[in-house]
Amino acid sequence: MANPSSILVLGGTGPLGVVTVRLALEHGHNVTVFARNPSKLPVDLRSSSNLTIVEGQLSDTANLFKLVDSCNAIISLLGPNQLWHKTGVFQGFYRNLLEHLQSLESPPRTLLISTISAPSPLDKFHLLAWLIVTAVYILAHGAYNDVVGVAETVEKNIGNLPITVFRVGGLLNGEGTGQPVATYVGHSDYTLSMNRKDIARWCVAQIESGDTTWIGKFPCLSAPAVDKKTR
């Protein structure tokens, strides 16, 4: 591609992270993964010449913000992956990240993942989504609180930053069929689950296209139109 981006990926070691890093590399971008467990990246990815891997904790902001300063896009796929996730881990991290981004003359295009636990005023009632969010609230309360807290923190501190918080429901594996539709829960084009590879396509396309439609917004991704008959 004509203008390869320098993309910083957070949460790159989960299944969605791996397919996103792989796609960005396939598209010729320079990718940096900042991760606490880099060994979770597949061996073939780790040997890619366009991939830089930096090991660190989210609390290591001195090192992490150096990477933020030298990238032109951030994809954060960070999310609680343990039932006993401690409330506030991500909320505190994003508060610091947004404060740092505000200090930059030209902040990077930033895509942050969230879930349907974080509501939008544009959402409509959807029974299955409500049941899932209620189950998460009961069974993984720390994770629920952190996800909601992150969305509130970003909303409060986003200002004019080029950030999109994209929310997802259930994630599936497989090849996928295209790019998800950005919409809101309960709308006519909404589906609860979608393919990780499709989400990766959407993220990379958002960066490559320079699309500003979803900047400052909190859409919910939904399966590509061609997929809907099966959901």
Ligand X SMILES: NC(=O)c1ccc[n+]([C@@H]2O[C@H](COP(=O)([O-])OP(=O)(O)OC[C@H]3O[C@@H](n4cnc5c(N)ncnc54)[C@H](OP(=O)(O)O)[C@@H]3O)[C@@H](O)[C@H]2O)c1
Question: Which own/partner pairs from 130-135 qualify as long-range (CB within 8 Å, at least 24 positions apart)?
Answer: 132/169, 132/170, 132/192
Query: Does 177 sit near ligand X (CB under 6 A)?
Result: no
Q: Is 40 in the site for ligand X (CB under 6 A)?
A: yes
Residue of 41, 168, 204, 207 interacting with ligand X (CB under 6 A) = 168
Hey, what are 10's tokens?
Answer: 């957070």
158 binds ligand X (CB under 6 A): no
Q: Which residues contact 155 (CB under 8 A, 6 or more apart)?
A: 218
Q: Which is nearer to ligand X, 78 or 151 (CB)?
A: 78
Q: Is 63 in the site for ligand X (CB under 6 A)?
A: no
Size of the site for ligand X (CB under 6 A): 23
Site string for ligand X, 75-94 (x = CB under 6 A): --xxxxx-------x-----
Binding status of residue 24 toward ligand X by CB under 6 A: no
Q: Return the beta strands (E) in the chain as ranges.
A: 6-10, 30-35, 51-55, 73-76, 109-115, 163-168, 170-172, 181-183, 193-195, 220-222
Distance (Å, whole) CA 165 – CA 145: 16
Residue 46 sits in the site that holds ligand X (CB under 6 A): no
5, 13, 110, 195: residue in contact with ligand X (rule CB under 6 A):
13
42 binds ligand X (CB under 6 A): no
Comparing CB distances to ligand X, the nearer of 101 and 147 is: 147
CB neighbourhood size of 189 (10 A): 13
Pick from 135, 131, 133, 132: which is nearest to 118 by CA? 133
Residue closest to ligand X when measured from CB atoms? 79
Residues 219, 215: Cα–Cα separation, whole Å: 10
Of the residues 3, 37, 188, 230, which one makes contact with ligand X according to CB under 6 A: 37
Cβ within 8 Å of residue 226, ≥6 positions away: 177, 178
Smallest separation, CB 2 to ligand X (Å): 30
Choices 12-20, 100-108, 119-127, 213-221 (CB under 6 A): range interacting with ligand X: 12-20
Residues within window 184-213 making contact with ligand X, judged by CB under 6 A: 196
Tell me if 17 contacts ligand X by CB under 6 A.
Answer: yes
In angstroms, the CA 126 to CA 169 distance is 12
> Where along the sequence are the contacts to ligand X (CB under 6 A)?
11, 13-17, 35-37, 40, 58, 77-81, 89, 113, 115, 168, 170-171, 196
